[in-house]
Amino acid sequence: MLSFRKMDENDYEFLMDMQYESIHILENKPPKLVLMNAPHLKKYHEGWGRQGDMALLALMDNVPVGAGWYRLFDESNRGYGFVDHETPELGIAVLPAYRGQGVGVKLMQELIKQAQKDGFPSLSLSVDPSNHAAVRMYEKLGFVFCGVVGTSWTMKLV
C-alpha cells in the first residue's frame, strides 16, 4: 500500500540517494559522492533543513521507494529550475523497481498539495527534455515550459 510522510533527520541518506537518482545521466554517471559534492549540485542538499526546505517520502508497505523535495533559491544561488526567489524548485525520484506504477504522479500530487499548505502557489523544476516520460508527467500535472538553462528545460506549475 502506497503512503506518504514528511522526511525526518533519519531519512537524510535516503534523500541523498534519491537526489542522486534524480540526476538524469544515461552513460558514465559519476559515483554518488563525486556527483553530489560537485559545486553546481551541492546547493540542492547542503545545509538541508533551512526555511523553505521540504521533502516527502513515498512508502510502499512502510518502505521508502521514492522522494520528492523542494527548496528555495535566490538570484545569487540559482538552481537549474530557478524562476524567482518565491518559487521553490522541486526534485523527485522513484526507485527503478517502482517506476511506471503511478508512484511518481501520486508523489508529485502530494508534493504540490504540501507546497500549497506551506504557502507556495507554484513550484518550478529542471528536466532533461530527452526524459520524455518525466516531461509528459510534469505537463499532465500542470507544469509549462518557461525557459532553458544549459541543456535542461525549466518548467513551472501554473
- What is the number of alpha carbons within 13 Å of residue 155 lying toward its C-beta? 22
Buried b (16+ CB within 10 A) or exposed e, 69-87: bbbbbeeeeebbbbbeeeb
Mind listing the pLDDT tens digit for each residue in 20-75?
A: 999 878 789 999 989 888 888 888 899 899 988 999 999 999 999 999 999 999 99
Task: Say if residue 115's pLDDT is above 90.
Answer: yes
